[in-house]
Amino acid sequence: MQGSGRAEAGKPVALPALSAYRYDEDYSFLKDEDLRSHAEPLSLAPLKYVRLGSDSSNYLSVGSEVRLRYEYYKNNQWGQGPQDHGGYVWGRLLPYADLHIGPYFRAFAQAIAAYEWGDAAGVSPPDEDQLDLLQGFIDVRLPAGDKTTLLVRGGRQLLHYGSERLIGLRYGPNVPQPFDAVLLRLEHGPWRVDAFYARPVEIGRGTWDDEADDTQDAWSLYATRALPLLGEGSGVDVYYIGYRDDRAAFAQGEGRERRHTVGVRWFGAAAGYDWNCEGFYQFGSFDNSSANGEISAWSLASSSGYTFGGARLQPRIGLKANVISGDDDAGDPDLQTFNALFPKGKYFGEIGLLGPYNLVNVHPTLLLNLTGKLTLDVASVFYWRYSTHDGIYDNAGNVIRDGADSGKRFIGSQLEALFTYAFIREIEASASYSVFIPGSFIDDTGPGKVVQFVGLEVGYKF
C-alpha cells in the first residue's frame, strides 16, 4: 500500500509483507495520519515512520530480525568427514535503519551478528560472522520521463534475481551473501531493467573483518517484463550475467574461470496453476597451469503446480525438475560443468547436501494448509549424475566426491517434511525432518550411510 491511499472508516490497514532483505518494504504511507492511526499492528507503526522535521518525506524506518535455529545431522555427507553427534545452534541478529530524505535520496544500513554454538565438526564462513556490516548503500532515484524512473544504488547490498538459481540471498544458512556493488535500475511501465557490477563479500568470522573478494566479480544486464494478461504476478526475465573467478575449482581441477551466462525465465500463476520455467547457457574459458579450455554448459529448470483452492486443506501438488550439465571428460581441458554462481541457500531442501551442479533431479511436492497458521510441506527428491565423468558438489560449488572411478549415476533419494507455523505477522516457527537414502554412486565412492537431518527454527522480524 502506498501513501496515496486512504483508510476506510474503522478498517485496519495492513503493513507491508516482511521480506528477507528488508529494503523493499515501503512504509511511506504512514505519513498519512489517518492511515497511520489504522495501521496493524499499531504498536509497531511508530518505529516504521519516524518523521524528521517538518517535511513528511523525510523519515527514518527501523527494524530487525532475530533468528534461532537448531540443526542436527546424523551421518553428514553419508558418514564422510568430521561428524557432530549433538547438533549445533545458530543465532542471528539483523538490525537495520532506512533513512529517506525527500523523494529522491535514501540511505540503508543493516548490521549482522551471527553465531554458531556446539558444532564439533567445525565452523565455516556461512555459519558465523560475529559483527559486521551486512548492507550499507545509498540510493538516488531520479524521474526520467512519463512513468519512468532511474535508480542509482551503490554500496554493500543483498542481490536477488528471479528464482535465485544464479544470484540469491543465501538466506537459509546463518550468514547471507552480500555484495559490494553498483546497481542501475530503469523502470518504465511493465519493464524493469537492471545493470550491475558486483564483488562478493568474503565473510570473516570476527568483527568488522568482512571485505570484498578481489578474486571474483560479476556483472549483469537483467530485464523483466510483466505479463498481467497471463495472470497476476506473471512475467518473463531475459538476462546476461558475466563472472570471473581466479580460484575456480571443479572435479576436473583448479584454474581461472571467465564465464558468461545467458538465460530466460517464464513465470506466473492463473486459475490455480503456477509455473516457473528457466533455461540457461554458459560459455567462456577455463585456464589452469597445464592447458586452456573452453566452457560450454547448460541447464533447464522448472517448478509448476496446481492449488485446489476450494478443497479442504487447500492442497498444492507440485513438481520441480532440473537437468544440469556436468563435465564429459576430466582429461580434456574443456569444461562442461554448469556453475550456479551464487545460488540461494539450501537449494534442494532443508537438508542441504547437494548443490545444482552435474545433476538430473525430479522433485514432487505436496503443500497442505492445515490451519490458517500451520502449513505442511512434504517433498521427495531423486538425484542422478548428469555426467558419469564428473563428480557431485555442495551448494557452494565445492566438490564432495569427484566420481572419477565410478560409472554409477544414481546418487540417492531424499524425503522431507517441513511444518511452518505463523503465530503473528512478525513471529514464525518451523520444524523439519529429512532423510537421504544413498544410491549406487554414493555406495561406490566412499561411505554410504543413510543421512538424517532435523531442523528447528524460530524467527522474529519487525
Q: Which residues of 65-84 are buried (b: 16+ CB within 10 A; e: fewer)?
A: bbbebbbbbbbbbbbbeeeb
| Helices within 124-224 (DSSP H only) | none
Q: How far apart are CA 259 and CA 329, in angstroms?
A: 19
* Residue 265 contacts residue 278 (beta carbons within 8 Å): yes
Where do the domains of the chain lie? 1-60, 64-461
**pLDDT tens string 229-246:** 887 789 999 999 999 999
For 32-72, the pLDDT digits (tens) are 877 777 676 656 668 899 999 999 899 999 999 999 999 99
- Rg for the chain, CA atoms, rounded: 23
Chain position carrying cell 542441504: 352
pLDDT tens per residue across span 132-149: 999 999 999 998 778 899
List the alpha helices (DSSP H) in 32-150: 33-38, 45-48
Confidence class for position 3, pLDDT limits 50, 70, 90: very low
CA distance 313 to 78: 36
Average pLDDT of the segment spanning 422-449: 96
pLDDT per residue as tens digits for the range 315-366: 999 999 999 999 999 888 999 999 999 999 999 999 999 999 999 999 999 9
| pLDDT tens digits, 165-211 | 999 999 999 999 999 999 999 999 999 999 999 999 999 999 999 99
Domain at 64-461: CATH code = 2.40.160.100
